[in-house]
Chain A
C-alpha cells in the first residue's frame, strides 16, 4: 500500500465524510464528483451520521489476503440515520448475536497491516452502541 493512496482517503474514512448534492440534496458515500440523481457537479462535503441499523450481514469465513488475522468477521450493510448506506465490519459482538435491524455506531479501528514494515491502516468499523448496551431494546 502506497502512503499517498492511504493518506488521501484517511479524512473520509476516519471521520465518515461523504458528499451532499447542493442542488437536490442527495447524499453519497464514498465521495463522488457528479450527482447520479440530478447530474449536478456541485457537491459539498457532508458529515455522515455515525449511527445506523443493520440491513443485512454476513460472516466472512475465508478472508482475502491481509484480512486473515480477523477471520471469522462480520461485514454488514448498515443504513445510517441520515438514510445513506455503508458497508462495514461489525465488531465487539459475537456473529451469532448480529440481527437485521440492530443498532450500531461507528468506531475507529485497525483495518489491516501491510506486512511487518509497511503502514498500518485504520478506518471505521461499527459496533453495538456502547452507552445503550444495557438497554432492553
Chain B
C-alpha cells in the first residue's frame, strides 16, 4: 500500500446558513480544498453526509455533488455513519489512494440541519440508534448521553463541575476561530446554570448542531518535508444497543480503533501533540479520552481541571473548540476534525495554533459509540 498525504483542505464556517443549500456549502469547501492543493482534477469524489435523506429528502449525494463541482463523469460515493460519516468517508478515500486505484481524491462532508424543526433535529440525531428498540422509547441522543453521565458520576465519584470543564476549555479555544459556530468564552457557572437538556445533562454541555462543509484532497505521499501524511486510519464498531454492553461507560469501539491506530502509526499516546475528540456532550468527550488511553478510567476530567494525573502526557484537545464550540455539522464533523488537525500540523491554525505539533489525532463517533473512526496525521 502507498503512503497517502493531504494535499489541500477547505471548510465553511459552521453556522445556520439560511441562504445556502447543501450543494452551495459542499462546493465552497471542495473548491477551497482543490485550490489549496493546486492539483489537477480529482479522479473520484467521496461525499460524507448523515441527514439529507431525512431532512432534505435528498439521496444520491455522490453524483449530485460531483455535478455541482463541475466534475460529472468521475466516480462518486456517498458515505453515511452518523456523526462519524466524515471520518469513515476519509478512511475509504485513503484506501482508494493507498491501493493505487486513484491518485487524486476529493473527500468532502456536508450537512444542513437548519432546514429541519427542533423536533425533527432531535429525531434526526437519534437516527444512528436502533429505531425499533432505542429511539422507540422516546430517548434522544442527548438522553443516552445523560444515562451514561449519571452512571459515570455515581460510579467514579466525579463531580459535574469537573466534567463540564471540558466545555469551558472548548469555548476558550474557539475564541478567535473564524469557522467556529460559537467563538466565545462560556463560564462554568453559565454552563451549569443552563436549562436541562436531559437530566443531569445541561443544554450548554451539548454540542451545537449546525450547517457546514469540509473537504480534503488526498494523493500519494511525495516524501517532501512539511507534508501532512496519513499515519493511521482505523475503524471499529460496537453493539448498537447500550443495553447489551457489559459496561455502559466504556466505548469498546474507541478502545479497539485507537489501539489499532497507534499500532499502525507506530507511535504511543505520548507522541500525540494535538487531538480532536468527539465531544457530542461533555461526558462523551471525557469517556473518549479515557478509552483512547489519554487518562485513566474515571480520571478523564483531570485533563481539563488542572489537577493530576493524565497518564500519557497532555495533548492539546479540541484546539478549535470541538463539537461543543466549533459546532457539530453531523455528517461533515469528522472531516472538520481532520482538516483542523492538518491545519495545526501545517502551522496554519492562526490564533488556535499550538507549538510545532508533529502528530495529531482525530476521533469520531457515530451513534453512542457504535462506530468509531480514528485518524492519525503526521507532519514530515
Contact = CB atoms under 8 A, between A and B. Distances in A.
Interface of A: 9, 28-30, 36, 55-68, 70, 73, 75-77, 84-89, 95, 100, 111-112, 123
Interface in B31-90: none
A64 B150 contact: no
Nearest to A77: B147
A64 B116 CA distance: 12
Interface size classification for chain B: 35 or more
A63 B122 CA distance: 7
Interface stretch (B97-105, B172-180, B197-205, B338-346): B197-205
The 4 closest A-B CB pairs, nearest first, are A58-B146, A64-B123, A85-B243, A56-B151
B192 to A, nearest CB: 16
B306 interface: no
Contacts of A84: 243
A55 B142 CA distance: 17
A80 to B, nearest CB: 10
A56 B248 contact: yes
Interface in B193-227: 195-201
Contacts of B248: 55-56, 77
B127 to A, nearest CB: 9
Interface string B95-134: 0000000000000000000000111101100100010111
Contact of B120 (A58, A65, A77): A65
B122 A61 contact: no
Contacts, number: 101
Nearest to A87: B137
Q: Is the interface of A mostly helix, strand, loop or mixed?
A: strand
A30 B133 contact: yes
B148 A56 contact: yes
Contacts of A59: 196, 198-199
Interface of B: 117-120, 122-123, 126, 130, 132-140, 142-143, 146-148, 150-151, 154, 195-201, 239, 241-244, 248
Contact of B140 (A9, A30, A57, A62): A62
Nearest to B117: A65
A87 B244 CA distance: 10
B243 A87 contact: yes
A95 B143 CA distance: 14
Contacts of A60: 138-140, 143, 198
25 contacts: A29-B243, A30-B130, A55-B151, A56-B147, A56-B151, A58-B198, A58-B199, A58-B200, A61-B195, A61-B197, A62-B198, A64-B122, A64-B126, A65-B122, A66-B123, A68-B119, A75-B139, A75-B143, A76-B147, A77-B243, A86-B243, A87-B134, A87-B242, A100-B150, A123-B136
B147 A67 contact: no
Contact of B119 (A29, A30, A65, A75): A65
A64 B136 contact: no
A62 B140 CA distance: 8
Contacts of A29: 133, 243
A85 B134 CA distance: 12
A88 B126 contact: no
A59 B139 CA distance: 9
